[in-house]
């Protein structure tokens, strides 16, 4: 079993932090230690992401102000990509190479609400893995969206910040209607 796959097992499901909590709207600290404390956080993040049926999860979404995210996400060719990125930096296409993909986007920290958001259709994310080794992930489709969305979280940006005022207001309204089905400690406690 690979070192990465070991980190996808044995975690504890944690409550997902909601938008409005200060940690969700502030820049995170860089990861500088790559030992067991980080590895347990990563295990817990994978467990939480899987329990919530998400494709990516940033440390801020479990209340930790550390620059790390996990993902298990398909690309446009339905190829599954699994990983951990610490201290991520996303590079997006520019000029004639920049094509936008408008698709519904949601966030586990604002459960039950989705809104169309245009993002570049490809993205490259560079950083280091959970062991401090350089890593580069390039993706298209949902994977490109995931890499951008999770890196945004670590910079204190939620995807609602990228929406126009009217769309943001509608997003919050959709969330309010769905919120009662998500317990405060979701996904520790299941939806009702």
In the set 116, 136, 150, 180, the catalytic residue is 150
pLDDT at 1 exceeding the cut of 80: no
pLDDT at 178 exceeding the cut of 90: yes
Average pLDDT of the segment spanning 11-23 = 97
| Model pLDDT for residues 23-49, shown as the tens digit of each residue | 999 999 999 999 999 999 999 999 999
| Model pLDDT for residues 42-100, shown as the tens digit of each residue | 999 999 999 999 999 999 999 999 999 999 999 999 999 999 999 999 999 999 999 99
Average pLDDT of the segment spanning 171-183 = 96
Domains observed in the chain: 3-179 (3.90.45.10)
User: 73, 81 in Cβ contact below 8 A?
Assistant: yes
Give phi and psi for 60, each to the nearest 5. Answer: -60, -25
* H/E run at residue 107: none
User: What's the whole-number average pLDDT of the chain?
Assistant: 97
How many angstroms separate the CA atoms of 52 and 38, rounded? Answer: 21
| Model pLDDT for residues 105-121, shown as the tens digit of each residue | 999 999 999 999 999 99
Q: Of 3, 11, 125, 111, nearest to 61 (Cα)?
A: 111
How many angstroms separate the CA atoms of 79 and 111, rounded? Answer: 26
Model's pTM, two decimal places? 0.96
**Chain position carrying tokens 């317990």:** 183
Q: Active-site residue 150, yes or no?
A: yes
Average pLDDT of the segment spanning 139-149 = 97
Asked whether the CA dihedral 95, 114, 42, 21 is positive or negative, the reply is positive
Average pLDDT of the segment spanning 160-171 = 96
């Amino acid at each position: 079993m690979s070192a990465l796959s070991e980190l996808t097992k044995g975690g504890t499901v944690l409550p997902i932090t909601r938008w409005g909590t200060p940690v969700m709207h502030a820049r995170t600290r860089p990861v500088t230690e790559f030992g067991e404390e980080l590895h347990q956080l990563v295990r817990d993040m994978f467990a939480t992401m899987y329990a919530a049926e998400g494709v990516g999860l940033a440390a801020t979404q479990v209340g930790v102000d550390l620059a790390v995210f996990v993902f298990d996400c398909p690309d446009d060719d339905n190829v599954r990509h699994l990983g951990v990125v610490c201290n991520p930096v996303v590079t997006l296409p520019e000029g004639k190479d920049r094509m936008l993909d408008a698709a519904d986007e949601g966030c586990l920290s604002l459960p039950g609400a989705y809104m169309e958001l245009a993002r570049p259709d490809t993205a490259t994310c560079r950083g280091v893995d959970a062991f401090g080794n350089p890593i580069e992930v390039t993706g298209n489709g949902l994977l490109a969206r995931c890499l951008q969305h999770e890196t945004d979280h670590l910079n204190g940006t939620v995807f609602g910040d990228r929406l126009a005022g009217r769309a943001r207001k509608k997003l919050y309204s959709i969330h309010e209607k769905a919120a009662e089905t998500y317990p405060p400690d979701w996904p520790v406690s299941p939806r009702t």
